[in-house]
Amino acid sequence: MKKKRNNYSVYYYFLVLIRILLVFIPQTGYIHPDEFFQSLEVLAGKLLDVQCSPPWEFNVTTPIRSMTIPYFTMGLSYTFLRDANELSKSYFNQALLTPYMLLTIPRFIMCLLTFLIDYCLYKICINNNEKYKSRLIMLASSYIIIIYGTRTFSNTIELILFSLLLYFVGESLIFNNTLLKKKDYINYRYEQCKTTADKAKFHKLKLYLVSDSYRNCFVISTITVFGFFNRPTFLAYSVIPIFFWLYRGIGKKTISPLTLNCRVLVFALCSIPSFLFNILVDSFYYGHITWGEIGMLDVTMDKFVFTPLNFLKYNSNLDNLAVHGLHPRFLHVLVNIPLLFNLLGIFALCTVGKYVYLCYLKKFNLLPSLRSIKCLMTLSFIVPLAALSIFPHQEPRFLIPLIFPLIYLYASSILPETDVALVEAPNVPYVTQSRKTFNNYSFIRIWLMLNFIFSLFYGFLHQGGVYQATEYLSLQMKVVPTNVQYNIITSHVYSLPESLFLQKSGYQLYLKGKKNSILKKKVFLYEEGSRNVSSVLEKTVGIIKSSTKQFKTFLLISGSLDDDLDYAVRKTTIRLYIIKKFGLHLSLEALPNLTSYCLEFTKFLYGNNCLPLPIDEYIKWLHSLFTLNLYRVELNN
């Protein structure tokens, strides 16, 4: 007998290897400033004592971001890197603290944490006798996991916690359903017994059954609290799993209605330790309380920091949200769902529409059972989507936790996992014993193609020159005198993570020899956003004139604006010297204008015209549009 093996496992482990390798290449793409400025920038300044630019969310007066999870994940990796750097310099005269290490070490920690998502999906499938290999392949091939999952977003932590929450609730649900079946069977047999001895046997069996009323209660409540402190929007994701956990078995004869109230009370009590832990960590981190004050018993309630409350207060003000951008409330449904999940999102929205239609027809018997894992996953997609769509500020990354229920529900529709014959009869041609399913692999091809494109775009192309330019400047700063000032003006790019320059915090006392010296700030960043090039150059002139004698001024601007830059420079007293071009880089704020050149190239292909440039020059020119250019700026004498 021979067992026919498929390649699902090989494909999955290959995708896992890709996920890890892309961390160390590293990915140069820059999805959103929050991947740096809501974690790495703050922690680097705190733990590595480097110059940084912490955002307003971390002001010590009314902070809105909890640092518990970032500190005990990415923060510990920076602590390890700091200590390893000191040992390496002492024994090998080699520094480990480099921009590359600052970028990749926290990402590797996040990458390792994403395997909890894979494990939770695997266990849920096993517990429910579902096929898991195609689901794992779909999950591992999603750019949500490969790109977003390895970035230091609080949304990535939210995805991990949501996956854990669904696993423990699902496990409790399955255990409860199994236990109820056993109780119903024992009660039935007990009622059928005619002798006292037989009734006593089944009564003993009932006593042996393990109570599951509070199963996983402490773990579920702890995950919920940590998720709430990480992002208060986690309440939208946790409400359905918690409801299913509380409602298990309610309505059955063997479970009294009082059980629901008891579960709510125990759940609240189990939440207290993690609740207090998060508050204490934040209060110490932001300096509102100290060990000295605790020793002197000089601690009052107003000294404790409750970051989720500050978060909710800030985001409940529409004027505050307007600063970050207001969007139509249908953006999540019509744009962000297809953008993030492509085929999975389309299948999910079609299914939701079908369920709404069934409700309209009052055919509730055709809906998933309220006690099933399918209903749990379906509502865990619908309710968070509806809740987050209420708020007018809608970014795609807010929805990335939805990948977990979508993979469980619809992965088999894209990649069917067919039944394969286990036995091959001798001297008989092999015949596959499989269900007649729609085994069209067009869907999986579309899925892989779209995720490959988005992985390249967000992983390497989108703002891809920012990290490269920052790393280059950081290395250059090591070989110049310490008293040289760097003025870096950026235009049409995202904010530079200042911590990657690895400059000691400015205006602080440092022990140098036997004297204490003040180290002045060395790097000054000027962000010009998407202002027109002429205004940027005017600002640059003012910066140079107000600078000290020992300074270097650089302009970092997208290569797609070269023509505008050349035209604007002629009207100023500035001279630009190109230092280096970093690519590939694409700023959506400065998209290249390819219309005329694409038209000329099309005519060339059809033999109706010749190219305005030789083909090799044409390719070089095309590449120059997708670069980030670093210029040395000087004034004409």
pLDDT tens per residue across span 102-122 = 999 999 999 999 999 999 999
What's the whole-number mean pLDDT along residues 578-589? 92
Q: CA 192, 194, 198: angle at the middle one, nearest 5?
A: 85
Cis status of the peptide bond prior to 106, with omega within 30 of 0: no
Contacts of 228 (CB under 8 A, 6+ apart): 234, 235, 238, 308
Boundaries of every domain in the chain? 167-314, 465-493+529-635
Closest to 554 (Cα-Cα) out of 543, 566, 570: 543
Tokens of 414: 């894209």
Highest-scoring range by mean pLDDT, 1-10, 144-153, 429-438 = 144-153
Looking at residue 428, its pLDDT comes to 44
So what's the pLDDT on residue 437?
Answer: 42
H helix count then E strand count, the chain: 26, 7
Q: Any residues with CB less than 8 A from the CB of 486 and at least 6 apart, and which?
A: 473, 477, 522, 523, 524, 551, 552, 554
More confident residue, 138 or 504: 138
Phi-psi group of 216: left, alpha or beta (phi > 0 → left; psi -120 to 50 → alpha; rest → beta): left
Q: Is the pLDDT of residue 632 over 70?
A: yes
Residue 635: per-residue pLDDT: 87
Give the pLDDT confidence score for residue 422 in this predicted structure. 44
CA distance 377 to 225: 21
Residue 183 confidence (pLDDT):
75
Angstrom distance (rounded) from CA 179 to CA 174: 9
pLDDT attached to residue 66: 93
The helix or strand, by DSSP H or E, that contains position 242, with its residue range, turns out to be helix 234-247
Rounded Cα–Cα distance for residues 387 and 299 (Å): 38
pLDDT higher than threshold 60 for residue 515: no
Q: Report how far residue 60's alpha carbon sits from residue 58's, in angstroms, rounded to the nearest whole number.
A: 6
Query: pLDDT tens digit string along 248-286?
Result: 877 666 677 788 889 999 999 999 999 999 999 999 999
Q: What is the pTM of this model?
A: 0.91
589 pLDDT tier (thresholds 50, 70, 90): confident
> Is residue 507 scored above 80 in pLDDT?
no
Cα(39)–Cα(153) distance, integer angstroms: 8
Q: Label residue 432 by pLDDT band (50, 70, 90).
A: very low
Per-residue DSSP letter, 586: B
- Region 131-139: mean pLDDT is 94
- Structural tokens at position 41: 């920038």
Q: Are strands 515-519 and 574-583 parallel, antiparallel or unpaired?
A: unpaired
Mean pLDDT of the chain: 86
Q: Mind listing the pLDDT tens digit for each residue in 159-196?
A: 999 999 999 999 998 888 877 777 777 777 777 787 87
- pLDDT of amino acid 442: 87
The residue among 121, 33, 112, 119 whose CA lies nearest residue 74 is 112
Residue 511's pLDDT band (cuts 50, 70, 90): very low
Percent of the chain with pLDDT over 90: 57
Determine the 3-state secondary structure of 462 from DSSP: strand
* Alpha carbon distance 431, 420 (integer Å): 9
Asked if pLDDT for residue 617 goes beyond 80, the answer is no
Contact present, 484 and 473 (Cβ < 8 Å): no
Cα dihedral 595→599→601→606 (10° resolution): 160
More confident residue, 423 or 403: 403
**pLDDT tens digits, 301-355:** 888 899 999 999 888 888 888 888 888 999 999 999 999 999 999 999 999 999 9
E strand or H helix at 300: none
pLDDT at position 439 over 50: no
pLDDT of residue 607: 59
* pLDDT of res. 331: 93
Note the pLDDT of residue 609: 60
